[in-house]
Copies of this chain bind each other. A is one copy, B any other.
Amino acid sequence: MDSPDLALAPERGRLKMADIARMAGVSISTVSRALAGNPLIPKTLRDQIVEIAQTHGYVVNQSARSLRLRKTDTIGVIIPLAHEAGQMISDPFFLEMVGRLADEITRRDYLVLLNKVITNEPGWLDRIIQSHRADGLLIIGQSTQHEALNAVAASYRPMVVWGAPIPGHRYCLVGSDNREGGRLAVSHLVARGRRRIVFLGEIDAPEATQRYEGYRKGVEEAGIAFDPALVIPSHYTREDAQRAVEGLLASGVAFDAVFAFSDVLALAALTTLQRSGKRVPSDVAVVGFDDILLAQHSTPPLTTIRQDLEAGARIMVDLLFRRMAGDSSPSTISPVNLVARESA
């Protein structure tokens, strides 16, 4: 069973370091060091061992390595969903964000562990952290989980959250200036002569709240009386926004513009309005938020508040790696800008 010499690989696929050691006629430690490029091992021997490993298709078992080293070379990307488990599929925003993050992470030779989480179950974050599957965590959107994040932030450092700053947040936060975005949108609409501006969206998550606050501020700055009838709640899906806009139209409330929480909602509003005979922008102007890829392709193209996701993703990953290295890192809010297209 233990033929000492150059035994052939056993059944392909379950090689371990000991096998390579035997083939090379050295000890396991030497193989480990050689494969790690440790200069203690003379270059010739090192190359020899690497060569043997390669020709036999041997690769270090990562579970064992992770257990020993307490590190996984993996970053967890977490998408917290409050209820609707189906959102991810349909939500281009998440997808674009994930793509960007994945690129940044793989550029650093880390892997991406994608994790769609239902936040209803308390302890979800602890469970992820304690499972030790990832060396760091990127949370896309606070959702309603500010408290949970804060609770964990004190003792768990390598975590960066995409979202909006809430007073007293103790976790590292990266995001856009949502409030200013909301204000910008309204001010643009006002400059176009609109007075009856709808806010379309949920007001639960911090990002939403702040966009709404910006909306309120913009309305106020314009000297327009705030009308609560113009605040139309809608979940984050296309379908819900459509329902909401249909309800609005049916209600008979007069309006000449819509500022939506996101492009997804804005695009849903756009088509719903058009389908019921309204012209955009002449009857109703529409402004979105995010500037997803779709925004420039709608008819008419969507005027929107642009978040630079590429930069955002880069910053998130940057800060995360700094935290993983033990540094502290500042929360960062990036400016947004209005992209004027034809819908408003």
Once the chains are docked, how many angstroms separate the CA of A67 from the CA of B98?
29
How far does the Cβ of A266 sit from chain B's closest Cβ, in whole Å?
12
| Docked complex: A117-156 residues within 8 A CB-CB of B | 123, 126-127, 129-133, 155-156
- Contact among B64, B85, B95, B133 for A62, CB-based, below 8 A: B133
Q: Are A131 and B62 in contact, with the CB atoms below 8 A?
A: yes
Is A334 an interface residue, CB under 8 A from the partner? Answer: no
Q: Are B66 and A63 in contact, with the CB atoms below 8 A?
A: yes
Once the chains are docked, how many angstroms separate the CA of A57 from the CA of B103?
32
A114-B116 contact in complex given A63-B67, A102-B88, A297-B294, C-beta closer than 8 Å: no
Chain B residues with CB below 8 A from A61, complex form: 67, 130-132
Is A233 an interface residue, CB under 8 A from the partner? Answer: no
User: What 0/1 readout, one digit per residue, does chain A (58-91) give for beta carbons within 8 Å of chain B?
Assistant: 1111111011000010100000000001101100
Q: Are B294 and A155 in contact, with the CB atoms below 8 A?
A: no
Once the chains are docked, how many angstroms separate the CA of A85 from the CA of B107?
9
Chain copies in the assembly?
2
Once the chains are docked, how many angstroms separate the CA of A214 from the CA of B230?
53
How far does the Cβ of A95 sit from chain B's closest Cβ, in whole Å?
4
Q: Are A13 and B113 in contact, with the CB atoms below 8 A?
A: no
| Residue on B nearest A91 in the bound complex, by CB | B99
A89-B99 contact in complex given A58-B130, A123-B54, A130-B57, C-beta closer than 8 Å: yes
Is A112 an interface residue, CB under 8 A from the partner? Answer: yes
Chain B residues with CB below 8 A from A103, complex form: 85-86, 88-89, 116
Q: Are B89 and A100 in contact, with the CB atoms below 8 A?
A: yes
How far does the Cβ of A10 sit from chain B's closest Cβ, in whole Å?
12
| Docked complex: A193-233 residues within 8 A CB-CB of B | none
Chain B residues with CB below 8 A from A129, complex form: 13, 59
Once the chains are docked, how many angstroms separate the CA of A166 from the CA of B98?
32
Q: Are B72 and A127 in contact, with the CB atoms below 8 A?
A: no
Chain B residues with CB below 8 A from A64, complex form: 67
Chain B residues with CB below 8 A from A293, complex form: 92, 294
Chain B residues with CB below 8 A from A318, complex form: none
Chain B residues with CB below 8 A from A114, complex form: 98, 102, 111-114
Is A160 an interface residue, CB under 8 A from the partner? Answer: no
How far does the Cβ of A117 sit from chain B's closest Cβ, in whole Å?
9
Q: Are A59 and B294 in contact, with the CB atoms below 8 A?
A: no
Residues of A within 8 A of B (CB): 12-13, 15, 54, 57-64, 66-67, 72, 74, 85-86, 88-89, 92, 94-96, 98-100, 102-103, 106, 111-116, 123, 126-127, 129-133, 155-156, 267, 293-294, 297-299, 310
6 smallest A-B Cβ distances: which pairs?
A59-B130, A63-B66, A112-B114, A63-B67, A95-B95, A57-B126
Known: A95-B95, A102-B116. 14 other contacts (CB 8 A): A15-B130, A54-B123, A57-B130, A59-B131, A60-B131, A61-B67, A61-B131, A63-B72, A88-B102, A88-B103, A95-B99, A112-B114, A114-B114, A297-B299
